[in-house]
Amino acid sequence: MDISNKLANRVTSLKASAIREIFKMVGKSDVISFAGGIPSPELFPAKEFGEITKKIMEEGGAKGLVYGITEGYAPLIEIVEERNKKIGVGKEFDQTIITTGAQQAIDLVGKALLNEGDGVIVEAPSFIGSLNSFRSYNAKLYDVEVEEDGINTDKVEELLKENRNIKFIYTIPTFQNPTGITLSIEKRKKLLEIAKKYDCLILEDNPYGELRFKGEDVATIKSFDDEGRVIYVGSFSKTLAPGIRVGFLTCHKDIMDRVVVVKQVNDVHTTLMMQMMVCEFIKQYDFDAHIKKASKVCGEKCALMIECAKKYFPDCIKVTNPDGGIFLWCEMPKGIDTGVIFEKCVEKKVAFVPGRTCMADIDAPSNCFRLNYTTVSNEKIEEGMKILGDVLKEYV
């Protein structure tokens, strides 16, 4: 039986996330993996989660096990809205929904907004999970390079001038995935101004923003939004734990109205137990202190990895210097394909994310790669970076 003629066009050419594939490949082996995308697992509040959940089940019984409403568990929405307020997110025209991770939030926005052939401006490089989601609605991706202070806004304007099919600009403005770079306040304002001028939306994805370990906070793009042009996505994946799959989405009620219907047919609602657990954790524990502690660890590990890069990498490799988050972006001399180096590295028991997987065109070779510093121990960072440095030296 031929299955190929049964598939929808939107998915036939879609490729599995290379990062997820790398994850499967190195997950069970003795490879030192810098390919991860989560904060230090030893900081996840496993014990607290266990106790909270037991209590919820004992005291609430079936309350946490029946169907919930699609918008989310009301007490958790309240907490999210309160926290959002502190960073200027959530205007009088906005609503908030709890999602099954930030990934679902991105995907719901894609489904609610993107017709086939609609354009999305994305950062080059960007987060593969979002790029793939947009691709899965047959959107056209327009990529714009990320500079030291974030996306090149002049290029964004050029693209918007030339292409009237662009629905929104997708940006991770703070401690960007994969570069760790933060979009400057000037460029944030500029981006919103351009979006207004060409009547397009902005999708502001901010899963890492709370993990700052140096420098001053930069206002969210959403905080300047006075008309519902910015769709804001946040997550508990990086501040609590990724496996619980709890994120959120705040946007104009007219968009939310469609997002809710799309979520309804997608998974009805986000697991009630997980929503209640997050809610109770924040009520019973000092969440901000927890985040502060996690950020401090991120900072220490980041500093260590940068130090190792200086020590072990060839001098010609440029490495970013983020103020927060969990990623470093490394740029090798032009002409080198880190996809090739990746295979060699895995042989030597060390892994990173090849740059091409983070690009709109995943088939073009890339001279860059992403490193995560939070999921492995300090000893393994030192060990892995030394191995990695040795391999890199063979290629420059």
Supply the minimum distance, in Å, between the C-beta of residue 74 and a copy of itself. Answer: 10
CB of 160 to a copy of itself, least distance (A): 14
Task: Name which of 8 and 289 has its Cβ closer to a copy of itself.
Answer: 8
In the complex with a copy of itself, the residue whose CB is nearer, 159 or 308, is 159
Closest separation between CB of residue 65 and a copy of itself, Å? 4
Which residue's CB is nearer to a copy of itself, number 306 or number 359? 359
Quickly list H helices, the chain. 9-12, 18-27, 46-55, 74-85, 101-113, 128-135, 153-162, 185-197, 253-267, 272-284, 287-312, 338-347, 378-393
Nearer to a copy of itself, 13 or 162 (CB): 13
Name the phi and psi angles at 228, rounded to 5.
Answer: 90, 25
Q: What is the CA radius of gyration of the chain?
A: 21
Burial environment of residue 17 by CB neighbours within 10 A (0 to 12, 13 to 18, 19 or more): middle
Cα distances (Å, whole numbers) of residue 386 to 47, 344, 366: 35, 14, 22
The residue among 47 and 86 lying less far from a copy of itself, judged by its C-beta, is: 47
User: What is the CB neighbour count within 10 angstroms for residue 122?
Assistant: 26
- 32: helix, coil or strand? strand
Q: What is the C-alpha to C-alpha distance for residues 340 and 169, in angstroms, rounded to an integer? A: 31
Q: Least CB distance from residue 49 to a copy of itself, whole Å?
A: 5
Q: Which C-beta is closer to a copy of itself: that of 133 or that of 366?
A: 133
Max CA distance (Å), the chain: 62
For the CB of residue 395, give the shortest distance to a copy of itself in the complex, in Å.
30
Q: Report CA-CA distances (Å) from 137 to 33, 209, 287.
A: 31, 27, 37
- Chain-centroid distance, C-alpha 278: 19
Structure tokens at 47: 């014990």
Lateral strand order in the sheet of 230-235: 94-99, 247-252, 230-235, 201-205, 166-171, 119-124, 140-147, 150-151
Rounded CA separation 68/72 (Å): 7
Whichever of 118 and 147 has its CB closer to a copy of itself, that residue is 118
Q: Phi/psi class of residue 107: alpha, beta or left (left: φ > 0; alpha: ψ in -120 to 50)?
A: alpha
The residue written with tokens 């050029």 in the block is: 158
Q: Quick one: tokens of 382? A: 């030192």
Residue 98 backbone phi and psi in degrees, to 5: -85, 135
State the minimum distance, in angstroms, from the CB of residue 77 to a copy of itself.
14
Cβ distance to a copy of itself smaller for residue 89 or 230: 230
Beta bridge partners of 351: 33
By beta-carbon proximity to a copy of itself, the closer residue of 24 and 344 is 24
CB nearer to a copy of itself: pick between 298 and 392: 298
